[in-house]
Amino acid sequence: MKKRFMILCIITLGFVLLVACSNEEGSTTTDTTTATETQETESETHETVAVEPIEINIGMMQGPTAMGMIGLMDDADQGRIGDDTYNFTLAGSPDEIIPQIVQGNLDIAALPSNLASILYHNTDGEIQVIAINTLGVLHLVEAGETVTNVTDLGGKTIYASGHSSTPEFILNFILESHGLDPQTDVNIEWFAEHTEVVARLGMNEDAVAMLPQPFVTVAQNQNENLRIALDLTEAWDTVQASNDGPTSALIMGVLVARKAFIEENPEAIATFLERYAESVNFVNNNIEAAADLLESYDIFPAPIARRAIPYSNVVFITGDTMKELFSGYLQVLFEANPASIGGEMPSEEFYYIQ
């Protein structure tokens, strides 16, 4: 286990036990008195069973993957979730979250999607993905009007960060799907930080930048002439609609939980997912209020959040749809670089299906 933990730090970066106590249908000769007594006994049993309050420790990073949680955080702080206790940990990077899951200090966490797969492999299946919470947040922005589709990127300079990681694999997949060679048909300049990309874009108005939210909004605040030229989530969906490969979506963030916690607390997981779905709905339908909460919890300044939320693809996807879309996305990353998802495709046990 120590070895796995070290690997995780270097890389940085159960199920709802559906005890279907269904009564067997008796034959036509069943004694009705006995059946009635049985039902009364079961009723008495159900009435005496008390559900103990649950304490759940939840980790997330500052960024779009925390947006969908903000309504639930406020509900917990205002005492609107009943007797359960939700403790939230907000971190700056995945390497602050992952060790806490491994050590059992966190029960649920919002993570970048590929890191969830890596964590699954490096813990021998001790975590499961319980929901997709963020689709693609990557966009291509420019100061002009020269790019309206992917093929317009031919001959362009693209500033970006995320070399040798998922942003590069995503960009390459979309370029190649439109007949563009990333090595020869475009000039991609890679930078270590998104802030460097924004600064460099200001020096060359003919270039295009690949940025995630909320950095797109930050850049637009600095340069009012910047516009979103391409939403890479939409570009991904267009590619998927036209090919014969597995169904997938551009998935940037997921919720994972420790498998042991799921198995020990199936009702608590089910309730958490219901509350999280309500939180996502709140964020997407009450942008002003959500933005104010995001600022109050030091996640995003409200003016940035107001502009970023509509483009951050905050979602709640579970069950078989989650499995289909996520496994298809991981397949694309695996074909680009197996190490990006932990060396191999995760098994079906990776996906929590209620």
Provide the pLDDT for residue 243: 74
pLDDT at 245 (0 to 100): 65
What is the DSSP secondary-structure string of 145-201?
A: S--SSGGGGTT-EEEEE-TTSHHHHHHHHHHHHTT--TTTTSEEEEESSHHHHHHHH
- What pLDDT shows up at residue 41? 44
What is the pLDDT, as a whole number, of residue 82?
Answer: 86
Q: Which two tokens stand for residue 163?
A: 């070399």
Nearest CA to 250 among 353, 333, 160, 349?
333
For the chain, give percent helix, strand, coil, nearest 5: 50, 20, 30
- C-alpha to C-alpha distance for 115 and 330, rounded to whole angstroms: 11
Look at residue 164 in the predicted model and tell me its pLDDT: 85
Phi and psi at 90, nearest 5°, equal: -105, 125
Look at residue 16 in the predicted model and tell me its pLDDT.
31
Closest C-alpha to 261, from 35, 117, 124, 104: 104
pLDDT at 19: 32
pLDDT of residue 23: 38
Give residue 168's pLDDT: 93
Tokens at 323, concatenated: 């499995």
Residues of the chain with pLDDT below 50 are 1-46, 48-49
Structural domains present in the chain: 2-14+52-135+250-350 (3.40.190.10), 138-242 (3.40.190.10)
Say what the pLDDT of residue 329 is: 94
pLDDT at 44: 47
Sheet strands side by side (includes 108-112): 85-91, 55-61, 108-112, 251-258, 127-135, 314-317
